[in-house]
Amino acid sequence: MAIGGNGPRLTQSAQQQQLMLPKMLQAIELLQLPSMELSTWLREAFESNAALVVEEPEGPPRPTERNVGPRARTGASDRHAEWLASQEAQGEHWREGVLEQLGWLDLRAATAAWAGWLVDRLDGDGLLTDSDEALLTDGLRDGLPGGLGELADAIAALQRLEPRGLGGRDATEALLLQLEPADPDYGRLCALIERFLDEVYRNKLPQVAKRLGLDVGEINRLVGRLGELQPRPIAAVETESVPSVAPDVVVLALDGAGFAIEFPRSHLPTVALDPELVGLATDRAQPKEVRAYARGKVGEARALIDALDQRQATLERVARTVFAHQHAYLEQGPSALTPLSMTDVADELELHVSTISRAVAGKYAQTPWGIEPLRRFFQASAGGGEGQGSAADEVRERVRVLFAGEDPAAPLSDDEAVARLAAGGVHLARRTVAKYRQELGIPSSYRRRRFN
């Protein structure tokens, strides 16, 4: 602060700082907004600023013309939980999410038409229980192009979407669709699903082991893997949401080798300056008050557009750096995630770690292994340190460790787990323990019992 003859006054530098502060705050606010919230924010800004022109998006992002390769059609079975966590609407809105996922597949027009039509034929569990004959007859009657070949291709496309098992013709096929043919256990898991599901459900594992020529310990292990699967893909989220999440980042596996990273924006409103108000701001034929008003609104609008550009540039820098480190994940899947902290990325980009945190908050990436929250790619090292841990994650890990250390011949009930956790200083309701157990893929105590 400088002292003049008329008393204290701000220096030019301090005045500039005061003017810059709202712009900085706006840039910070926009950076941390997820796409859906950003769309709402922009519409509200349009209502309050006549200098803005906001054009609504044409629709969800469409698939690129590049061939994304076979990895886009496969994925680990644990993607189901990740996909469900990304959903927010309720009721039948899950169909909207399925339709948007279809938009990301590179399908021929006839196949895409059949696939979109089939979404409405899925039952409440996400299964496609009608016969091919009935579907073909009804589809042709509704004017769909092609015939049985297009129907078959559309069913195959539907069965590549999340949640895994979607479009299965029954619960058995839904389970089979969640298996990976490259899995060393694939054949034995298929045998359990196709021939012994009833015995497994009734925990008649010694009989199953005898018929398959395996020891009970191996059957126990395989049954544990079956517990990770979902026979009713949509039923698990009857009270949850399932519309789509529009990805902010798209990573494509190219034919041959390598990956391409794209940043679709077609799902966001387009923002520009209103040329009429820009003209008013400099039109000397207009009253001084009108020009001042127009200049103020145009200045606010320009600051907003600059903040949007800065948001996009920061997101792109962060995402490219993240996937440069997570190349093994792109090649091999979730099991190959590399330890990476936000501090690592911040140091590399010469940004504050809080900027990295805001840049990935609520953002999603479409990868060859499914849609993932960007935060997922920040993994703590084995020695601890900065990662994505939270109080809930720590409690969930305590639950996992507790069940992992139980006596297999006398597994803990949820009530017993509540008591054990309370004795260790972690107080949870029974339903919370059950929720964490299910999220961890741990079946009920009856199904966890192991036979010697």
- Tens of pLDDT, residues 6-51: 444 444 444 444 444 566 677 777 887 877 788 888 888 888 888 8
The CA angle 193-215-439, to the nearest 5 degrees, is 50
Token couple for 279: 């003209």
**Residue 397 predicted with pLDDT over 90:** no
Residue 302 is classified by DSSP as: H
**Residue 117 predicted with pLDDT over 90:** yes
Q: Is residue 85 part of a domain?
A: no
Question: CA-CA distance, 429 to 417, in Å (whole number)?
Answer: 10
Q: Is residue 34 part of a domain?
A: no
* Alpha helices, DSSP H, located in 159-232: 171-177, 186-195, 197-201, 205-212, 216-226
Q: Which pLDDT value is given to residue 444?
A: 77
* pLDDT classification of 381: cutoffs 50, 70, 90: very low
Question: CA-CA distance, 295 to 280, in Å (whole number)?
Answer: 8
Among the residue ranges 46-60, 325-339, 392-406, the one predicted with the least confidence is 46-60
Q: Is residue 414 part of a domain?
A: yes
Number of other CB atoms surrounding residue 337 within 10 Å: 17
pLDDT digits (tens, 9 = 90+) for 46-104: 888 888 887 776 554 443 333 333 333 333 334 434 444 444 333 456 788 888 888 88
Residue 60 is classified by DSSP as: S
Place of tokens 């009856």: 446
The CA angle 439-33-54, to the nearest 5 degrees, is 130
Q: Which pLDDT value is given to residue 244?
A: 53
Q: Which pLDDT value is given to residue 313?
A: 93
Q: Which pLDDT value is given to residue 162?
A: 81
Q: What is the CATH number of the domain that holds 427?
A: 1.10.10
Please name every residue paired with 262 in a beta bridge, in sequence order, or none if there are none: 250
| pLDDT more than 70, % of the chain | 79
Q: Is residue 404 part of a domain?
A: yes
Helix axes 216-226, 186-195, angle to 10 degrees: 80
Residue 56 is classified by DSSP as: P
Token couple for 171: 């619960």
* pLDDT classification of 236: cutoffs 50, 70, 90: low
Q: Which pLDDT value is given to residue 452?
A: 60
Q: Return the amino acid letter for 44.
A: E
Sign of the C-alpha dihedral computed for residues 212, 214, 220 and 225 taken in this order: negative
Place of tokens 């006596």: 407
Q: Is residue 441 part of a domain?
A: yes
Average pLDDT over residues 411-438: 85
Q: Is 260 helix (H, G, I), strand (E, B) or coil?
A: strand
Q: Is residue 412 part of a domain?
A: yes
**Alpha carbon 172 to chain centroid, angstroms:** 26
Residue 204's contacts (CB-CB under 8 Å, 6 or more residues apart) are none
Q: Which pLDDT value is given to residue 246?
A: 75
pLDDT digits (tens, 9 = 90+) for 135-191: 999 999 989 999 999 999 999 999 988 888 999 999 899 999 988 888 888 899 999
Question: By residue range, what is the domain housing residue 397?
Answer: 391-448
Residue 78 region, left (φ>0) first, then alpha (ψ -120 to 50), else beta? alpha
Average pLDDT, the chain: 78
Q: Is residue 268 part of a domain?
A: no
**Residue 366 predicted with pLDDT over 70:** yes
- Nearest alpha carbon to residue 269 among 12, 53, 15: 53
Total structural domains in the chain? 1
| pLDDT more than 90, % of the chain | 21
* Alpha helices, DSSP H, located in 120-164: 132-141, 148-158
Q: Is residue 431 part of a domain?
A: yes
CB 188 within 8 Å of CB 162: no
Among the residue ranges 68-82, 284-298, 327-341, the one predicted with the least confidence is 68-82
CB 441 within 8 Å of CB 227: yes
Which of 35 and 240 is assigned the larger pLDDT?
35
CB 317 within 8 Å of CB 349: yes
**Residue 276 predicted with pLDDT over 80:** yes
